Structure 1
Amino acid sequence: MNKKKRRRERNPTSEAEAGDTLRKRKISSPELDFFDGLPDDLVLSVLSKLSSSADSPSDLISISLTCKRTKELGKHELVLKNASRRGIAIKAEKWSESSHRFLISCCDAGNIHACYFLGMIRFYCMNMRASGAALMARAALGSHAAAVFSLAVVRFNGSGGTAASRNPRAGFVLSARAALLGHVDAIREVGHCFVDGHGAPACPSLGHRFLIDASARELLVGSSGLESGSDPKWASERRVPGLDPVNGFIREWFGSGSGDDGLRMCSNGQCGRRETRKHEFRRCAACGGVNYCSRACQARDWSGGHKDTCRERMDAWAPDGDAAAGGGLMAGIDVESN
């Protein structure tokens, strides 16, 4: 008894510390996990908010790997439907059957970004023209401006068919619809249609108004940090100018050596479209050295650098002092079919 009493006197806090340790063990016990006590609706709301602001697919993967519960709820259609444009932007080098299934799940949940992304991949990369066009049409019905304009480009070029399947009138109507949604390239395309009388009655004065509007919007979009040609309606965050994720995917896909069949990419560095048949795209009427899927891509590349290279090519074969060189340079603003 005297020994026990002396131990208590030497260490009077041992019993209190032991009690604290016991309480800490109880708090960290799985039976008292407060996350498990949260209702599913609240967890889904949080996951949906996180998916809508994801910057890459890895963000969504990190969410699902947090625990078993988030893995299950991360597959809920509410989370997949609200996944951001960059959250579903899979890289071509990471493409696999599982990533394909993931995009299909997002499409089934009603995610219009996934419908556009997978539709473009199927149409241009996987040679699945019908299903790709159908997915782009689903995104277009959801007022996805880029999807509407992509369908317009398909109509203009008769992509997936023959040269006889070109439909400039349908392309103009779709471009006008995308222009109403604020798509810069579509506004520029409508302007060129009015100037050239391509798919619409010729009205140069009205066309120039659209071209000026497109240039002003492009300057505004560039200064605000959004991607050029993107629809501000879907811009929930600032974005760095450059390739659209799906255009980057297509360029990476074919840049790795896939589909080496002589078909050409659009010469506009910010466009990833590729021919679906030989001589589908138009070439520059001045130098004939570049090809474009649309007038909008030609106009953007003209101001982005082709203006100088086209002049060099014209000077290389034009006679010294010949005024035809200047006329040819101006002709480079137009395009002609191969």
Structure 2
Amino acid sequence: METIVLFKNLVIFLIIILIAYIVRRTDNVSHNLQKDLSYLLTDVTTPCLVITSMAVEFTDEKIIQARDAFIVSNLIFIISFAAIFIFLKFYKIKEPNRSQMMVGGILTNLGFLGFPLIQAMFGADGLYVASIVNMVSNYFTYTLGLALIKRNSEKQGKLKARDFLNNTNIATIVGLIILFTGFKIPEIPYKVLVNVGDITGILSMIIIGLMLGEIKVRDIFKEKHAYVMSIYRLILFPLFLILLVKLSPIQINMFVEKICVILFAMPVATITGIFSTSYDVDPPFATKIVMMSTMFCIISLPIILFVYNII
């Protein structure tokens, strides 16, 4: 049943992406719209979504879920780094694309696709877990992920506190305070947060469609390395992860386990393309691996969830 629900939501997302793609390809909107909407998503709607997902009753189960999500996601990111490093020892590819594929093998599209999909499938309970995972993800993104891209760049730049204390992480901290203190958000502010947060899913799909509209689709399918990256990111690593969690002697919350499997079966993180563009590190290649994996996840995600449920 969950597999069918996942597939239906992915089809809905795909249709929205196609609408945005057509609008961009026909030049009915400008290139700047993508950048503006991306800001709105990451700095406004997603933080609202995170806060409302944590405005729930404080229970022992919530503590266990937060603990397990934090520990498990840290372990998975470390394993992701080791796994893609070993994989690329056998699959030869030159820099800077090697580093870009390493980032793609470590970071998944939690914000643009993971959040709206988890919300559609599991509601506020799922978003609560996803928010903890995303907080851990941001740490690895702005340390390991950024370092891998910058080592092939002539541009210089230092990490700032703001990179870690972005609005989504701040919202997670605020949400945890609300959860632990039992503070009840007044009705009007709560409804504002809910209404703003609810557009995150639609906004995410529109942005992905606009990004896709910036390039020729046939150019994506000409990039052979993008196929390898998609197979690794969407199939090989998720299957490996399923085996690990199923065989692991460590007892973790089953709901957390399922959310983590879905989140780490997501396509290559959009931030791979953003970092590559910011530091002039072969942006077209990064865009291709992000877009191809995003398109193929429509097929791969239901398969991964099905395999997880039957094992």
- TM-score class normalised by the smaller sequence: under 0.3
Q: Larger RCO: Structure 1 or Structure 2 (Cα < 8 Å, ≥ 6 residues apart)?
A: 2
Q: How does the TM-score come out when normalised to structure 2? A: 0.25
> Which of structures 1 and 2 has the bigger CA Rg?
1
